[in-house]
A = this chain, B = another copy of it.
Amino acid sequence: MWKWNKSPDTFLGCEQPYADARIVVFGAPWDSTTSFRPGTRLASRMMRGDSWGLETYSPFQDRDLEDVAIHDGGDLELPFGDTEATLGQIESFTEHLLSDGKLPCMIGGEHLLSLGAIRAAVRRWPELCIVHFDAHTDLRDELLGVPLSHATVMRRAWELTGDGRIYQFGIRSGERAEFTWAKEHTRLRAFDFAGLPEAVAALGDRPVYLSIDLDVLDSGVFPGTGTPEAGGVTFRELQQAIVDAARANVVACDVMELCPPLDPSGASTAAACKALRELLLALR
């Protein structure tokens, strides 16, 4: 007899029915404000298919996706060229998941999309803090006159959370003015994850949105992204940082900025899948 291959449709090990799931993964395939090299819209599709080259078990954490109740809800259909409608869809879908008691985990797409999910989370938990891994500050006030842009997402998020509530790690690129601004308004750690365990400890049980721009990784490990930055962290450092950050009370999270057209070997997609697996396993 025959067997079905369900791999292309679902991320590895995320096959629980919605009703039973604690975590809901969904894709947000959209990159209309990407200013340099587009293509992150294809990330969720590629990650689902290629995730089956991984295993559900992590020897690093000694945990298995088979022991976690995760549903992969598929991709939203987002309108290219209409930023507010897109953010609105993500916000209302995230709200829906949160009101069902789920932990949303978005696969981007460009980093601006995190704003939709953060809007939903901050409405529910006004005391929300954000833990943000990235190569870039994402703190511009506008880009080419556009306030809603991948380069402004954490500035827009700060307008929702206020000072001192955004913890940034691994940052190694931005305008001088952004770094200066960050000194007043966010907690920015350049280049690496030093201080992350302490920050998480200090956060205690406060609700946290964890946003991972995968370009925090060194461009050697993760070339497949729109604006790769050399001099970043190793995968093992990210792996440990994910475990550390997940000790916080993470209420929603995302993994952003894989750009499959810039990943002809598939190794960046594989790294993105492994980062997502580690995140899904680490969430408490």
List B contacts of A34 (CB < 8 A): 38, 80
How many chain copies does the complex carry? 6
CA distance A72 to B79 in the complex (A): 26
CA distance A57 to B77 in the complex (A): 21
Interchain CB contact under 8 A, B148 and A81? yes
Q: Of residues 27 to 46 in A, which have CB atoms within 8 Å of B's CB atoms?
A: 27, 29, 31-39, 41-42, 45
Task: Summarize A's interface: helix, strand, loop or mixed.
Answer: loop
Residue of A33, A42, A74, A221 contacting most chain B CB atoms (<10 Å): A221
| Chain B residues, Cβ within 8 Å of A218 | 220-221, 234-235
**Is the CB–CB distance between A64 and B230 below 8 Å?**
no
Q: Least Cβ distance of A163 to chain B in Å?
A: 21
Is A6 on the interface with B (CB-CB < 8 A)? yes
Contact of A53 among B49, B59, B93, B227 (CB under 8 A): B227
Q: How far is the CA of A83 from the CA of B90 in the complex (A)?
A: 20
Residues of chain B within 8 A (CB-CB) of A224 are 265
- Whether A230 lies near B274 (C-beta < 8 A) is yes
For A34, A55, A261, which residue has the most chain B Cβ atoms within 10 angstroms? Answer: A55
Rounded to whole angstroms, the CA-CA distance of A36 and B5 in the bound complex is 13
Q: Are B230 and A37 in contact (CB under 8 A)?
A: no
Q: Residue A201 at the B interface, CB < 8 A?
A: no
- Residue in contact with A77 in the complex, picked from B27, B82, B144, B230, CB distance below 8 Å: B144
Q: How far is the CA of A129 from the CA of B33 in the complex (A)?
A: 33
Cβ of A211 within 8 Å of any chain B Cβ, yes or no, is no
Nearest-Cβ distance from residue A2 to partner chain B, whole angstroms: 4
Q: Which residues in B have their C-beta under 8 angstroms from that of A38? A: 31, 34, 38-39, 41
Contact call A81/B146, Cβ cutoff below 8 A: yes
B271 pairs with A82, CB closer than 8 A? no
Given contacts A5-B75, A59-B171, 10 further A-B pairs with CB under 8 A are A2-B92, A5-B76, A34-B80, A54-B173, A55-B174, A59-B179, A64-B176, A85-B146, A220-B222, A231-B234
Q: Kindly list the 7 A-B residue pairs having the minimum CB-CB distance in the complex, ordered from nearest.
A: A33-B81, A223-B267, A5-B77, A223-B265, A220-B221, A38-B38, A230-B235
